[in-house]
Chains A and B, each alone.
Chain A
Amino acid sequence: MKRYSAFAVAREALRNNTGWERAWASPEPRKKYDVIIVGAGGHGLATAYYLGKNFGITNVAVLEKGWLGGGNTGRNTTIIRSNYLQDASAAIYEKARSLYEGLSQDLNYNIMFSPRGVMMLAQTQGEVRGFERTAHANMLQGVKTEFIGPERVKQLVPIININGPRYPVLGAIWQARAGTARHDAVAWGYARACSDMGMHIIQKCEVTGIEQSGGKVTGVNTTRGSIGCDKLGVVVAGHSGHVADMAGFRLPIESVSLQALVSEPIKPCMDVVVMANTVHGYMSQSDKGEMVIGGGTDGYNNYTQRGAFHHIEETVRALVETFPMVARLKMLRQWGGIVDVTGDRSPILSKTPVENMFVNCGWGTGGFKAIPGSGWGFAELMAKGHSPLTEAFGLNRFYEGRFIDESVAAGVAH
Chain B
Amino acid sequence: MLILTCPCCGVTGEETEFHGGGEAHLKRFGPGSTDEAFHDYLFSKVNPKGVHLERWRHNNGCGKWFHAARDTVTLEIYGTYPAQTTEPPQSVKDAITAKRPGWSWREFA
Q: Measured between C-beta atoms, what is the minimum distance from A127 to chain B in Å?
A: 25
Which of A172-180, A263-271, A300-308 binds B?
A300-308
CA distance A273 to B22 in the complex (A): 33
B43 contact from A239, A299, A398, Cβ within 8 A: A398
B1 x A252 contact (CB < 8 A) = no
Q: Which one of B16, B42, B43 lies within 8 Å of A310 (CB-CB)?
A: B16
A254 contacts B47, CB within 8 Å? yes
Within the assembled complex, what's the spacing in Å between the Cα atoms of A253 and B42?
11
A240-258 CB contacts (< 8 Å) to partner B: 241-242, 245, 250-255
Q: Which of A251, A303, A308, A399 contacts B49 (CB 8 A)?
A: A303
Q: If A302-B75, A304-B75 touch, does A241 touch B70 (CB 8 Å cutoff)? A: no
B87 close to A (CB within 8 Å): no
Q: Which residues of B contact A252 (CB under 8 A)?
A: 43-45
Judging by beta carbons under 8 Å apart, are B49 and A239 in contact?
yes
The reply to whether B45 and A253 form a contact with Cβ atoms under 8 Å apart is: yes
How many angstroms between the C-alpha atoms of A343 and B38 in the bound complex?
A: 13
B52 touches A (CB below 8 Å): yes
- Chain A's interface size range is 20 to 34
Indicate which residue in B19, B22, B45, B54 contacts A250 across the interface (CB closer than 8 Å): B45
User: B53-84 vs A: 1/0 string, CB under 8 Å?
Assistant: 01000000000000000101101000000000
Known: A250-B44, A254-B47. A299 touches B19 (CB 8 A): yes
Within A268-304, which residues are at the interface with B (CB < 8 Å)? 299-304
Given contacts A242-B49, A255-B47, A302-B72, 19 further A-B contacts (CB under 8 A): A241-B47, A241-B48, A242-B48, A250-B40, A250-B46, A250-B47, A253-B47, A254-B22, A255-B49, A300-B54, A302-B73, A302-B75, A303-B72, A304-B73, A308-B1, A309-B1, A310-B1, A310-B15, A398-B39
Chain A: residues with CB nearer than 8 A to chain B? 239, 241-242, 245, 250-255, 299-304, 308-310, 343, 398-399
